[in-house]
Structure 1
Amino acid sequence: MRAAAVQLNATADVAANVRAADEHVRAAAAGGAELIVLPEKWMALGTPDDLRAAAEPLDGPVVTWARDIARELGVDLVAGSISERVDGREKLRNTSLHIGPDGEIKAAYRKIHMFDVVVDGTEYRESAAEEPGDEIVTSATAGGVQLGMSICYDLRFPELYRELAMRGARILLVPAAFTLATTRDHWEVLVRARAIEEQAFVVAANQIGSHPGGMRSGGRSLIVDPWGLVLATAPDRVGHVAADLDLEAQARIRRELPSLANARLVEAQA
């Protein structure tokens, strides 16, 4: 299977963001990618007001574009994440969608871990505009390969990825808008660690550059194999990277070094 991670510089301009996504998804598919991952908040990235203005339900025009292009190109598309408006809810959801080659939504994952932190002196309060999801989500490609869904800050919580792997995930998906500072110092270490721990491929699509509201993302989108080897790294610009995922080699790794099968959960003693 060939997978691609698309690296974008999203702003509050939804139409421009969709045009960029369209260009690079098509380029990835033309290069043979069957599984294509867009970054977090690829449809709009900016202030809480920007996100509210761009938000839409799952039958909105941006999701319709994603469904249409997946069907047209015949690919499994992970529409990184969008700002989802939910009827009856004041706050938005940060929602990643897996769309199959038939254009149907196969799975929707709503980000569990809110990015409420201080990085390089800048305070981020994702929970001010968004509420967390409460469901761990797996899906499967058209060829039956199990996918484990996550978004950005989730990467720092290994227990989520262990549960995804125990549910059968062979490819872990990490659409992200990692900050410049954390991309520089933590991103590759975390992505490779999740791959090694879960003996899974990781396709991690990051934003790059400056965004409204003073945010900066660090790029370096990655595709990593189950041994922790980096198969592809994006250069510091908008574009995409792709790599072939050797599923037979993954099966061999899991068979010969069966850390998942050997895992034991020991309850703490009182």
Structure 2
Amino acid sequence: MKVAAIQMVSGISLDVNLSEALRLLRQAAAGGAELAVLPEYFCFMGAKDEDKLVLAETPGLGKVQDFLSDAARDLRMWIVGGTLPMATDDPSHAANASVVYNPRGENASRYDKIHLFRYDNGTEHYDESAVLVAGDTPTVFECRDHAGQDWRVGQSVCYDLRFGELYRMLAADILLVPAAFTYTTGRSHWEVLLRARAIENQAFVVASAQGGVHENGRRTWGHTMVIDPWGDVMAMHAEGPGVVLADLDIERLRNVRAQLPSLQHRRL
């Protein structure tokens, strides 16, 4: 199955972000992608955290969800909508939701980010829990490629990457990691964590990132990549908008798991 990991440098205009996302999705489709993954916050990177609440959508109803549904149907591919703010019962907090649409434009899955990022080095300060509510449900979906092969796809978002137990629970063939890693943390930890998740779960990893300097002044690390079950980086895009394409081979996954059956050797 050919996949596309899409990198963006999203800004404060929803319409501009959606237009850019569509341009990159079309590029992915033209490259033969059957599954395309947008980055976390692909639709909006506000001037302040509270701005997310203004755009929070009702599940099944909203401009961003309609955009993803229409794009999936028109381009005839699976699309993972990075994340978008989804309304909750508490108007002061939204869910950071990653929604999936199949080639018919139907909502096939939704995952709410479980682990909320907090970081303070004296210069940079982030606390997602100020405006976001954490999810509590590990989520997988089944995706059939053009050859008729079924893939088990596990969802995660950004800071989840630091919690290996989540990925063990997913027990997936493909692990998705839409993200907006900061430049500081990404430079040190992004690639090594992604490769570790691929190696220990013997799974493909599709990691789509924000990558560049945003209108709100934030700088994200980028380095969108696809990694194979042995931990090798198959393709990567360092900075700025772009599309990373890679062919996932189910036989490669099976061979890795057969040659080194570590998943069968677990005792804890």
Q: Same fold (TM over 0.5)?
A: yes
Quote the offset at 1:184 in angstroms.
1.2
Instruction: Give, as a single letter, the amino acid of the residue that structure 2 aligns with 1:187.
Output: W
Which residue is 1:146 aligned to? 152
The answer to whether the Cα contact below 8 Å between 1:76 and 1:142 also exists between their aligned partners in 2 is no
Instruction: Give, as a single letter, the amino acid of the residue that structure 2 aligns with 1:125.
Output: D
The answer to whether the Cα contact below 8 Å between 1:43 and 1:82 also exists between their aligned partners in 2 is yes
Please report the TM-score for the alignment, with normalisation by the length of structure 2: 0.94
1:1-270 aligned at under 5 Å gives the runs 1-46=1-46, 47-58=48-59, 59-87=61-89, 89-119=91-121, 121-143=123-145, 144-165=150-171, 169-265=172-268
Distance 1:87 1:13 in 2: 26
Quote the offset at 1:121 in angstroms.
2.4
Q: CA, structure 1 residues 235+88, in 2 after alignment: closer, same or farther (shift >3 Å)?
A: closer
The answer to whether the Cα contact below 8 Å between 2:3 and 2:247 also exists between their aligned partners in 1 is yes
Q: CA, structure 1 residues 222+120, in 2 after alignment: closer, same or farther (shift >3 Å)?
A: farther
Distance 1:244 1:79 in 2: 20
Quote the offset at 1:191 in angstroms.
0.5
Number of residue pairs matched by the alignment: 262
Distance 1:63 1:214 in 2: 27
Distance 1:55 1:93 in 2: 8
Distance 2:205 2:43 in 1: 22
Quote the offset at 1:49 in angstroms.
2.6
The answer to whether the Cα contact below 8 Å between 2:12 and 2:216 also exists between their aligned partners in 1 is no
The answer to whether the Cα contact below 8 Å between 1:100 and 1:142 also exists between their aligned partners in 2 is no
Distance 2:120 2:206 in 1: 26
2:50 aligns to what SS in structure 1?
A: helix
The answer to whether the Cα contact below 8 Å between 1:152 and 1:176 also exists between their aligned partners in 2 is yes
* Root mean square deviation, CA, Å: 1.3
Distance 2:251 2:39 in 1: 27
Distance 1:93 1:69 in 2: 23
The answer to whether the Cα contact below 8 Å between 1:70 and 1:102 also exists between their aligned partners in 2 is yes
- Per-residue CA distance 1:78-104 (angstroms, 9 max, x = gap): 111001112455310000011111111
Please report the TM-score for the alignment, with normalisation by the length of structure 1: 0.94
Gaps of 5+ in 2: none
The answer to whether the Cα contact below 8 Å between 1:74 and 1:101 also exists between their aligned partners in 2 is yes
Distance 1:50 1:119 in 2: 24
Q: State which drifts further: 50-59 or 29-38.
A: 50-59
The answer to whether the Cα contact below 8 Å between 2:53 and 2:91 also exists between their aligned partners in 1 is no
The answer to whether the Cα contact below 8 Å between 1:219 and 1:236 also exists between their aligned partners in 2 is yes
The answer to whether the Cα contact below 8 Å between 1:96 and 1:109 also exists between their aligned partners in 2 is yes
Percentage of identical aligned residues: 45
The answer to whether the Cα contact below 8 Å between 1:120 and 1:181 also exists between their aligned partners in 2 is no
Distance 1:106 1:243 in 2: 23
Distance 2:217 2:9 in 1: 13
Distance 1:120 1:236 in 2: 26
The answer to whether the Cα contact below 8 Å between 1:12 and 1:51 also exists between their aligned partners in 2 is no
Quote the offset at 1:208 in angstroms.
1.2
Gaps of 5+ in 1: 266-270
Quote the offset at 1:141 in angstroms.
1.1
- Per-residue CA distance 1:185-214 (angstroms, 9 max, x = gap): 111101001000000000000001223543
Distance 2:140 2:50 in 1: 31
